[in-house]
Amino acid sequence: MAAGLGGCSTAGYYAQAAHGHLDLLARARPVPEVLDDPATPPALREQLVRSQQIRDYAVAELHLPDNGSYRRYADLGRSAAVWNVVATPELSLQLKTWCFPVVGCIGYRGYYDRAAADALAAQLKAEGWEVAVYGVPAYSTLGWSDWLGGDPLLNTFVGWGEAELARMVFHELAHQVAYANGDTAFNESFATAVERIGGDRWLAQHGAPGSREAYDQMAERRADFRALTLAARTDLAALYASSASDDDKRRAKAERLARLRADYEAMKRERWGGYAGYDAWFARASNPSLAVQGAYNDLVPQFVRLFERLGGDFPRFYAEVRRLAALPMAERRAALQAAP
């Protein structure tokens, strides 16, 4: 969740955030109630049954929190839970941050209404920021809404394939395990590491016939996507840090983004058999979207190494991540990078 740009906008932002979240919770119904409802479509009923098996697995095998989260279902009547606004300077990959009580500073601002997100994006663009707006299928309240029933399953993701549904549930529950104030990359990379480890284990033990093959194919595409975007981020970061003039940087930036899109088209053609699932992302590729991609992935290898060093023991892993989360950011990052 995010905060405002000034006094009045801050009050308005918090009001929409509170109203939006309470509306989401008010729409939630216990999964057994939805399953017993004769009006529930068979496909949704099947997905909800599977979701509860995944939820039970998260507790029993991954030692994720055992609470009310993902035991209820809400249909929001829209395609995203919230829309996030992210921004960077024109010649930088450093995300603009907004700071809030409790959660600290984060590199996005979320809205329950797309028009409100677009309005902030327009304001930021007028101020000279490079801006991106993207829909988010789910978010975590970090366990703070347990007394209201926890975070529900949503129509925005419950219909996904088995592996993707499992990954989503594991990722969002991981945010309830450990949270470092003001360190988006640490928090998201940790949750991404848990979702990958958990997703692999779920499919190995409980995946439906054919799900492993579909998951492996998607995982290969994700790896290709990460490699392409990492190469672009590395090149752009070096460019922005160079002594070139701003005009030269702008020209080189445009050329690098054009090459990124061309590389993607070649990858689709040569490796993916024409799969076009990332078309929209590459069409809008920009500093902010590349920066967000880094937050979710850059520290994942370090978290996976830490998990393996601790013998694949989830409680020990979570305890160590919580210890790291309590450190000052520089010390936290150094300790994580030093993990053998």
The stretch 56-60 carries a mean pLDDT of: 98
Q: In angstroms, what CA-CA distances link 188 with 31, 40, 180, 195?
A: 27, 34, 10, 10
Give the pLDDT of residue 11. Answer: 74
Closest CA to 108 of 131, 78, 79, 81: 131
Least confident of 2-11, 30-39, 252-261: 2-11
Q: pLDDT (tens digit, 9 = 90+) per residue, 297-331?
A: 889 999 999 999 999 999 999 999 999 999 999 99
Containing H/E element for 131? strand 130-136
Q: What is the pLDDT of residues 69-112, one digit of tens each?
A: 999 999 999 999 999 999 999 999 999 998 877 667 888 999 99
Instruction: Please check the confidence at residue 5 and state whether its pLDDT lies above 50.
Output: no
In the prediction, which pLDDT does 102 show?
Answer: 64
- Three-state DSSP state, 29: strand
pLDDT over 70 at 215, yes or no: yes
Tokens of residue 63, six digits: 């030692």
Per-residue confidence (pLDDT) for residue 3, from 0 to 100? 31
Residue type, 276: A
Residue 285: exposed, middle, or buried by beta-carbon count in 10 A (0-12, 13-18, 19+)?
buried
Q: Residue holding tokens 């209201």? A: 148
Query: How many angstroms separate the CA atoms of 286 and 292, rounded?
Result: 10
Q: Is the pLDDT of residue 10 over 80?
A: no
Using pLDDT thresholds of 50, 70 and 90, give the confidence band for residue 7: very low
Q: Is the pLDDT of residue 9 over 60?
A: no
Give mean pLDDT, residues 292-296: 86
Instruction: Write the CB contacts of 22 (distance below 8 Å, at least 6 apart in sequence).
Output: none
Q: Are 306 and 336 in contact (CB under 8 A)?
A: yes
Average pLDDT across the chain, whole number? 92
pLDDT level of residue 1 (50, 70, 90 thresholds): very low
Residues 240, 164: Cα–Cα separation, whole Å:
35
Residue 136 bridge partners (DSSP): 82
73: Cβ contacts below 8 Å, ≥ 6 apart: 28, 29, 31, 34, 48, 152, 153, 154, 155, 158
pLDDT at residue number 6: 33
* 208 vs 155, higher pLDDT: 155
d(CA 185, CA 297): 8
Burial of 75 (0-12, 13-18, 19+ CB in 10 A): middle
> Each residue of 112-158: pLDDT tens digit?
999 999 999 999 999 999 999 999 999 998 888 888 889 999 999 99
Cα distances from 295 to residues 24, 99, 188, 286, 332, in angstroms, run: 26, 17, 6, 15, 15
Residue 112 has φ and ψ, to the nearest 5°, of -80, -10
User: End-to-end distance of the chain based on CA atoms, in angstroms?
Assistant: 34
Confidence category of residue 68, pLDDT binned at 50, 70, 90: very high
For residue 207, the 8-state DSSP code is P
- The pLDDT assigned to 106 comes to 84
Q: What is the mean pLDDT of residues 34-48?
A: 97
